[in-house]
Amino acid sequence: MRIGIDVGGTFTDVVLVDNRTGIFQYTKTPTTHFDLAEGVLTGLRDILKMANVPIGDVDYIIHGTTIGTNAIVEGGGARVGLITTKGFEDVLEIRRVARPKEAAFDFGADNPPPLIPRFLRKGVTERIDSQGNVTVPLVEEDVRAVCAYFREQQVDALVVSLLFSFLNPAHEKKIAEISREILDGIPVSLSSEICPEFREYERTCTTVMNGYLGPVIRDYMNNLTKRLSSEFGELTLHIMQSNGGTMTAEAAKEHASHLINSGPAGGAIAAAFVSRLTGNEMAVGADMGGTTFDISIIDHNLPKTTTWGGVTNYPIKLPMVDLKTIGAGGGSIAWVDEGGVLNVGPKSAGSDPGPAGYGWGGTLPTVSDANLVLGRLNPEYFLGGKLPLYPEKARAAIEEYVARPMNLSVEEAAAGIIRIVNANMAKGISGNSVERGYDLREFALITMGGAAALHAAEIARDLSMARVIVPAMSGNFSAVGMVVADIQHDYVRTYASKRRNIDPKNLLDQFKDMEAEGKKQLKEENVTEDRIEITWSADLRYEGQSWELNTPISTSENLKEQDISKIVNDFHALHQQVYSYSEPEAVVEFINLRVRMKGKNPPLSLTHESKQGLSVEDSKKVMRPVYFEGKGWEEVPVYERELLPAGAAVRGPCIIEETISTALVPHGFTGSIDGYRNLIIEQENRG
């Protein structure tokens, strides 16, 4: 059995799956921001009790968390000292000599401050050249003096990022050795280990991020694993990485920067999982939780990845799932600005104090309050009745903060909130897809998170998308993505060589060295040889270009000249596909070599059902008044999703309820249940 746990801004989602039967069970519990581990433990207790199984029957636990992302956004990371080559202390400040994008229209906009202040950035005498040769030996007394200073400043972590250390890490390793003697064993992050590739600003920033988050992640992991072992005995806990794979909690302590967007990455893996099951090669994952709306692109059943991620304009040069996150969740707060214009988000009520309708003390109107006022949510069936809702409190909040200031009825104000948050989400999806050349008419919209299925059909209509897929357990589907994810580690080396200078044997040796490192890591995580999957690729570009294209390479035990030619030809074809032109006669440069090592988990699938005997009428619970903009109140049928049989079809408008989410099928749409119990919502007479 496997358990997946996803800690979100409002709720902690937990799923349990039986590997043999493919049967899932799931639950939600409020996220405990005062102590995130408490919510994780509560969810784990609840799911074990629900499934009536002992912890000994569970052989795999995977956990996704936004603790790293939150620490960056909230400025809650560690106090970090940076050692760099003398004269390069201001790399973090200079960046790429560019202002943020919004500065084109806002002259008051500025880049966020570096994560390490100037007085904690120190240079030491040393120099390695662009060929990896030592031209100025490391002055160890400089290192000792800087370490003594950092000890006085009581830094929590040390980061070392020297020029060209990715070619020759000797000086960085010596600094680490000295610092561990002087700084009483505080964690040390070396750029030659965290991000061993060229571009000094991105390499330094990525390593700084590792140091900045390291103590935060380490404290959380230590607390969580200690409490888990105290209550359940010794367990191996896996953590979701931002690249869509997993690592053990022990490995995560040393690679904190790999955990940024840990939770949302599970949603992208889940969307890819559903796209394969349903035969929709092209899809958009839409994960709408309590705080954010996370968007992922699924291209030919695989989530798009990038090595140019980041959070709040801090670049992170690591492989990660390509996600766009906007402040549009069920808890997003609606507010009227000084010009009398209605806005929604990005601030969220979260789980403390929560939406007004939750009755947890929140008084500000949110998206969830709007859905409650409009009759889209059942106040007596939220989380299966586990959490009662209070429509009168939601109504009072919308009336005070939106309806009265705008001279609208409460229903008109609530409908306006829905219209604006839908527009925000549609804009986010468009920016992450249409602006990259995708045609959304070919795409399915796959919903995840408790709130997404209430908004998805209207968003799909606005974007002319093919269909909406609402998986069973939609409200917990990021956690489902975690239990189907594989263990994964990515390795990179800067190679920087023109095609004519490449020696096939040397290239092979580089790939094999990274393979050996990956196999060692996977075996430490108890992955057997037969479960290891290896993927090679290289970042190539034409001479004179500033950016590279990652080009897949077939693994081999013996590279020859013709293999190198094939790689180059594949790059030309990829360049033609992406940019609509190629230059077969131009000089091609190999910049970075990459190896992805996967420890494959046993495959999982949702159970497939044939048509059942129950009719659609058997699943109808009640008729309920629901407000539609431009139409007013209408009595619509409400169906219990658990009772809708495979093959069932319903026409909108209607509401489909399940324990952890609610779906709206609006006017002009139909909904049907497929064999995997996905709800497929499609527009009638779609042109």
Q: Is 233 exposed, middle or buried (0-12, 13-18, 19+ CB in 10 A)?
A: exposed
Query: What is residue 687's predicted lDDT score, i.e. its pLDDT?
Result: 56
Q: Are residues 83 and 203 in the same domain?
A: yes
Q: Are residues 98 and 210 in the same domain?
A: yes
Range of the domain at 503: 487-599
Q: Are residues 414 and 501 in the same domain?
A: no
Query: What is residue 473's predicted lDDT score, i.e. its pLDDT?
Result: 87
Q: Are residues 78 and 201 in the same domain?
A: yes
Query: What is residue 313's predicted lDDT score, i.e. its pLDDT?
Result: 74
Beta bridge partners of 333: 366
* Distant-in-sequence, close-in-space partners of 632: CB < 8 Å, separation ≥ 6: 411
648, two tokens: 């069932």
In angstroms, what is the C-alpha Rg of the chain?
Answer: 26
Q: Are residues 347 and 213 in the same domain?
A: no
- Quote the Cα angle for 430-424-242, to 5°: 65
Query: What is residue 51's predicted lDDT score, i.e. its pLDDT?
Result: 92
**3-state DSSP call for residue 631?**
coil
The full length of the chain comes to 687
- Does 608 reside within a domain? no
Q: Are residues 361 and 496 in the same domain?
A: no
- Does 653 reside within a domain? no
**3-state DSSP call for residue 613?**
coil
The per-residue pLDDT for range 260-310, each reduced to its tens digit, is 888 889 999 999 999 999 999 999 999 998 888 999 999 999 998 888 777
Nearest CA-CA partner of 648 in 611, 687, 686, 596: 611
Q: Are residues 212 and 77 in the same domain?
A: yes
- Asked whether the bond before 353 is cis by omega within 30 degrees of 0, the reply is yes
Query: Domain ends where: 565, 584, 599?
Result: 599
* Residue ranges in the chain whose pLDDT is less than 50: none
Query: Domain ends where: 182, 201, 219?
Result: 219
- Does 452 reside within a domain? no
* Distant-in-sequence, close-in-space partners of 4: CB < 8 Å, separation ≥ 6: 14, 15, 17, 62, 63, 64, 266, 479, 480, 481, 482, 483
Query: Domain ends where: 401, 419, 437?
Result: 419
- Does 402 reside within a domain? yes
- Does 146 reside within a domain? yes
- Does 459 reside within a domain? no
- Does 565 reside within a domain? yes
Nearest CA-CA partner of 13 in 28, 2, 23: 28
Spatial distance between the Cα atoms of 382 and 298, rounded to a whole number of angstroms = 30
- Does 198 reside within a domain? yes
Q: Helices 170-182 and 140-152 sit at what angle, rounded to 10 degrees?
A: 40
Spatial distance between the Cα atoms of 65 and 263, rounded to a whole number of angstroms = 5
Spatial distance between the Cα atoms of 308 and 322, rounded to a whole number of angstroms = 9
Nearest CA-CA partner of 245 in 506, 552, 557, 489: 489
* DSSP per-residue codes, 31-72: --TT-HHHHHHHHHHHHHHHHT--GGG--EEEEE--HHHHHH
* Distant-in-sequence, close-in-space partners of 117: CB < 8 Å, separation ≥ 6: none
* Distant-in-sequence, close-in-space partners of 616: CB < 8 Å, separation ≥ 6: 639, 644, 645, 648, 649, 650
Per the structure, the count of domains in the chain is 3
Q: Are residues 408 and 492 in the same domain?
A: no
Q: Are residues 503 and 584 in the same domain?
A: yes
CATH number at 112 reads 3.40.50
Query: What is residue 176's predicted lDDT score, i.e. its pLDDT?
Result: 96
CATH number at 593 reads 3.30.1490
Q: Are residues 524 and 409 in the same domain?
A: no
Q: Are residues 212 and 82 in the same domain?
A: yes
Q: Are residues 201 and 99 in the same domain?
A: yes
Nearest CA-CA partner of 469 in 350, 631, 606: 606
* Distant-in-sequence, close-in-space partners of 470: CB < 8 Å, separation ≥ 6: 447, 452, 453, 456, 656, 661, 663, 678, 679, 680, 681
